[in-house]
Structures are given as structure tokens and as C-alpha cells.
Amino acid sequence: KTTLIIGNSNHIREYVTISLGTVTGGGITRVGDGNLIMAYTHFGHDCIIGNNNVIANSCQLAGHVEIENNVTLGGLSAVNQFCKLGSFAFIGGFSAINKDILPYCIAQGNYAVVRATNKIGLERNGFTDAEVGDVNKAIRILTKSEGTVEEKLNRIREECAPGAKIEKFIDFIKTSKRGVAI
């Protein structure tokens, strides 16, 4: 048995297609609450979409894509199967995504890479100045410094104030299956 579960208060616009889960892929495609899914968008089978996301016109999600919460995906973007988009990420339009996109960042390109910290989005969503500063420092350490990923994660642990946001950032990187787009 396969299922499609759509939560509450979603705005699903014209010509959107959302595929059922598949028997071999977990059986469920799930869309959370409060999402805006614009025209001509496609969600492949077994996608897991969180809450309060904005998916702009003509975005294409392959099967098994996961989008956490409060993500903005710019129009005409395509996401490869098994990719994960982290919370509060902002992905510029016409991007092709073949690796996981870090939480809290702005990513863009073909193939998409991290361009900056999503400072405005974080501030609008109630992050403190200190939290935004730590997230920015963590993103810069990961994307701009030398060393292995493990060395960079150790630097993040040493240089950023401990807290839920930084732990989520580190955990996202450590659990990535496709690799992180940096």
C-alpha cells in the first residue's frame, strides 16, 4: 500500500503534481503544513516536505527528496533524488541541486553551492544576533577554511557558542548521505 499525506493550510497552485510513495521506497510521500507550492511544480515519489516552505513555479523534485522547514526554493530549480534541503535555506532560482544544501544558507548555481548565510531570513524568523553570528561563522569555517570536513567541524565546535542551531548544523553535515554542496 502506498500513500500521499498532505497536511493543513497548504496552498497548492495550478498544475502541481505530487506522486504517491512507492512500495520499495517507504510507501509515503508527505507534505507538512503551511507550504506554498506554486504552479507547475512536481514532487516525485517518497518525498518528505516539512512545514512553512515556499516552492516557487516549475520546481522539479525527483524521488526521495527531503525538504526540512522554512526553506525557499527559487523557480525553475531541479533537485536530484535523495537530496536534502536544510531548514531556513534559500535556494536561488534556476538552480540544479545534486548534493545536500546546508541549513541557514543561501545556495545557487548549476550545480548549487553555498554562496552566503541567509542572514535576513534568519533574522525574520527570530534568530538572535548571536545565533546569526555563530551560524555565519560556522558556514564560513566550512566553506572558506582549509582542512578536512572533520577538522572544520572541530573548529566550529571550538569557535562557535554551543546551542541548538550549531548542533543542528553539525548533525546535518555528519548525517548527509549525498555530501554537502559547498
Residues belonging to the chain = 182
Containing 171, the helix (H) or strand (E) segment is helix 164-175
What CA–CA distances, in Å, run from 98 to 36, 101, 174? 23, 9, 17
Catalytic residues: 45-46, 63
With CA atoms as reference, report the closest residue to 43 among 51, 34, 53, 55: 55
What CA–CA distances, in Å, run from 177 to 23, 44, 101, 112? 21, 19, 12, 17
Question: CB–CB of 97/83 below 8 Å?
Answer: yes
